[in-house]
Structure 1
Amino acid sequence: MSAAPPAGGIVDGHVHLWDTGAMRISWFAERLGLPRRVGPEDLARAVATAPVPVRAAVAVQAADTEGEARWLAAHAAAHDPLPGPVVPQYDARPGDPAAWAGMAQPLLDDGVPVAGLRLAVPGGAADLSDVAGLDALCAGLAGTGRVLETLVRPAQLPAVAALADRHPELDVVVCHLGLGAGQPDEAWRSALAAAAACPRVHAKLSGLHTAGPDDAGRVATIARTAVDLLGPERLLFGSDWPMSARVAPYAQIVARTARALPAMGDGASAAVWSGTAERLYGLTD
């Protein structure tokens, strides 16, 4: 039994691409120490250092404009096999009731391949009541076989659970386990347990690593809690590259995640490293 990535390879469930010269990224600042442009060719060089092949990667939109979403989709489509599925951000369009996908609706209407939409609201209301069109978004995603990704803080996880309960046909993916670089306290564990009680809630083992001296123990606690509550079949690895490159190179992020996970059988390991992502995002060989 092992938690190492299998020889068959990895599907990275969470990467970002952007080009600040082509479009404005609202949160981008020089102090963050990030490159101005990260394209598919940069990702290919990073993943080439992994101990096993990275067969595909889910490209999550970095900001929230239609132009940037189209840029991301075009670059994903032009670079085979990476990055792969595209997940734009959700930005509501309250004045247009037909636009259940918000900002991304024109992409869907134009037939641009979109695997899901991400609700990124960690600074919003704990009950998600300030998200316009949320139930219409969920119904639209479920009806078209797409996933809802959520970037939320621990206090919002019970609201994610309530949302999943209202939309039992929808697959929900919690980015960074709803915690990211935070501490795995009892409040987070209880909130994650509430979300895990919904059978179609999944989570990404992504965005967890820090440069702190006790990071290995902290991430091991997080990963093992996630396996206990969700099981391997509802977890997927994500590097959060290039954000993670500020902490460690790509190969080290893979290795640190593998060390954090408990030992598991071949089938369970394959689910975490590739199978769950393949199922959720419609990836086929």
Structure 2
Amino acid sequence: MASHNGVNRLFGGTGGVVDGHVHLWDTAAMRISWFRDDLGLPPRVGPGDLARAVATSPVPVRAAVAVQAADTEGESRWLLRQSAAHVPLPGPVVLQYDARPTEPDAWAGMAQAVIDDGATAPGVAGVRLAVPGGAADLSDVAGLDALCEGLAATGRVLETLVRPEQLAAVAALAARHPTLDVVVCHLGLGTGEPDASWRDALAAVAARRRAHAKLSGLFTTSRDDAGRVAAAARAAVDLLGPERLLFGSDWPMSARVAPYAEIVGRTAAALPPLDDGAAAAVWSGTAERLYGAATRTSPAPRG
């Protein structure tokens, strides 16, 4: 892991990290469709667990963006309650998109009722499209353009969890909705190889000025991981610039690979040299701008 001094320098005097990607869940309180005992994950992870994990970070973590783990309304309301009750962690919430084809007014799908609820709407910073197993052109996602229109109109972010072959479709989506902030989780790569085809696809996304990406979900237990992740991080900085990148730990998924402090240190080591302003953007500024600054109390458009 990088030394404390090295990590501190890389932070650029930000005063702390905003972690752009964490998860919370409670399998006793709601069903998490993908959760299995053999995944090696705890059945419950709450804000207290997160606080204990981030306390080990070599630089303080002062806020985090909680991304919904599954796709039910009950879970989304639970997550928002956790967020509201524990300030400054976890912070803003990103809900999952689950289309409602029989409800034409529900542009946010499952999340619509939560977004329309005046008590919970301010906590919703965005909606995530998690479709890495879907069609390469995203043609199997119902209501996708309506979702983008609704998010743009209400000052929220579209997150995408996609595989490299789907990045071209994300670029096309961003082109159709130029006023929408789009964030690609895990660089659209995850634990894959940062080859030329991925780089070309990320370049197409980067050509859209309101496209962003998270430096998250990249690490494995492989001894050769450092070079692969450094190559991915370098390409992301070259293509998007630090002001359109943000750190995300992907905790507690990442805890299966390494403790929280080590994920921070590995990310610091993977990044190319950055000046103070660039470092501040990656570690906190981009996340604050995307998830913390927009006013989210205006009613959502209908129809």
- Give the TM-score taking structure 2 as reference length: 0.92
Equivalent residues of 1:59, 1:84 under 8 A apart? yes
3-state secondary structure, aligned to 1:123: coil
Query: 1:23 is aligned with what amino acid?
Result: M
Aligned mate of 1:130, from 109, 132, 140: 140
1:246 maps to: 256
Query: 1:76 is aligned with what amino acid?
Result: S
2:66 maps to: 59
1:26 maps to: 33
Equivalent residues of 1:6, 1:52 under 8 A apart? no
2:199 maps to: 189
Aligned mate of 1:40, from 25, 33, 47: 47
Aligned mate of 2:10, from 4, 22, 30: 4
Distance in 2 of aligned mates of 1:237 and 1:6:
14
Distance in 1 of aligned mates of 2:10 and 2:262:
12
CA shift for structure 1 position 109: 1.1
CA shift for structure 1 position 4: 2.2
1:255 maps to: 265
Distance in 2 of aligned mates of 1:265 and 1:58:
25
Distance in 2 of aligned mates of 1:170 and 1:80:
27
Matched, 1:121 2:131: yes
Equivalent residues of 2:12, 2:277 under 8 A apart? no
Distance in 2 of aligned mates of 1:115 and 1:218:
31
Structure 2 residues not aligned, in runs of 5+: 1-5, 295-303
3-state secondary structure, aligned to 1:4: helix
Equivalent residues of 1:89, 1:120 under 8 A apart? yes
Structure 1 residues not aligned, in runs of 5+: none
Distance in 2 of aligned mates of 1:283 and 1:249:
30
Q: Report 1:1-285 matches (<5 A).
A: 4-7=10-13, 8-111=15-118, 112=120, 113-283=123-293
Distance in 2 of aligned mates of 1:15 and 1:172:
18
Cα displacement string for residues 88-119 of structure 1 (whole angstroms, at most 9, x for unaligned residues): 10000111111000000000111212100000
Query: 2:49 is aligned with what amino acid?
Result: D
3-state secondary structure, aligned to 1:207: coil
Query: 2:210 is aligned with what amino acid?
Result: R
Cα displacement string for residues 116-158 of structure 1 (whole angstroms, at most 9, x for unaligned residues): 0000000000000000000000000000000000000000000
CA shift for structure 1 position 283: 4.7
CA shift for structure 1 position 213: 1.2
Equivalent residues of 2:100, 2:110 under 8 A apart? yes
Aligned-residue identity in percent: 78
Distance in 1 of aligned mates of 2:211 and 2:137:
17
- Give the TM-score taking structure 1 as reference length: 0.98
CA shift for structure 1 position 5: 2.4
3-state secondary structure, aligned to 1:221: helix
Distance in 1 of aligned mates of 2:31 and 2:104:
27
Query: 2:152 is aligned with what amino acid?
Result: A
Matched residue count = 284
CA shift for structure 1 position 169: 0.3
Distance in 1 of aligned mates of 2:12 and 2:206:
26
Query: 2:86 is aligned with what amino acid?
Result: H
Cα displacement string for residues 24-65 of structure 1 (whole angstroms, at most 9, x for unaligned residues): 100001111000000000000000011111110000000000
Q: Which ranges of 4 or more aligned residues in structure 1 deviate by more than 3 Å?
A: none
Equivalent residues of 1:115, 1:147 under 8 A apart? yes
3-state secondary structure, aligned to 2:11: coil
Distance in 1 of aligned mates of 2:282 and 2:20:
10
Distance in 2 of aligned mates of 1:124 and 1:46:
33
Distance in 2 of aligned mates of 1:119 and 1:134:
9
